[in-house]
């Protein structure tokens, strides 16, 4: 049963697993970068009491770069979220179409899963 219309062979499971790993890696990278920005902002605020003019200029540049980085990370996060939502909608539409085109396959898969679960539960109760 092919859920994704753009993939026509057994690469479906590997492709979905790869997408999940990529999403997890992107989330971890986003969290790490966000923590870094928070730390740099805290450092900038701690040094704000130092009156030297060169430090003020450096602090201003740093604050501008922090602002640009935040904007970039937020845009990337929005883009990734939209991409995931679009892919999810495509997968759901393909699954819905597949279920309407071949409903007996869906019933067969459900029956096999139910039989396997019943068998597993039966074996577990014996022990």
Q: Which residues of 52-77 are buried (b: 16+ CB within 10 A; e: fewer)?
A: eeeeeeebeeeeeebeeeeeebeeee
Can you tell me the distance from the alpha carbon of 112 to that of 119, in angstroms, rounded to the nearest whole number? Answer: 10
State residue 10's pLDDT score. 42
Question: Could you identify the residue written with the tokens 């039966």?
Answer: 122
Q: What are the residue ranges spanned by the domains of the chain? A: 11-126
- The residues of the chain scoring below 70 in pLDDT are 1-22, 25, 50, 127
- What confidence tens digit (pLDDT) does each residue in 46-62 have? 777 767 777 777 778 77
pTM to 2 decimal places: 0.44
State residue 20's pLDDT score. 67
State residue 39's pLDDT score. 76
State residue 33's pLDDT score. 77
């Amino acid at each position: 049963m092919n859920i994704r219309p753009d993939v026509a062979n057994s690469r479906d499971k590997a492709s979905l697993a790869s997408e999940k790993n990529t999403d997890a890696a992107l989330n971890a990278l986003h969290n790490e970068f966000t923590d870094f920005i928070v730390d740099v902002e805290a450092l900038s605020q701690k040094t704000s009491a130092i009156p030297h003019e060169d430090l003020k200029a450096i602090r201003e540049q740093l604050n501008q770069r922090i602002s640009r980085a935040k904007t970039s990370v937020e845009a990337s996060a929005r883009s990734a979220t939209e991409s995931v939502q679009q892919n999810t909608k495509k997968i759901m539409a393909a699954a819905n179409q597949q279920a309407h085109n071949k409903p007996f396959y869906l019933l067969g898969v459900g029956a096999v899963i139910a039989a396997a679960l019943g068998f597993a539960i039966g074996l577990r109760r014996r022990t």
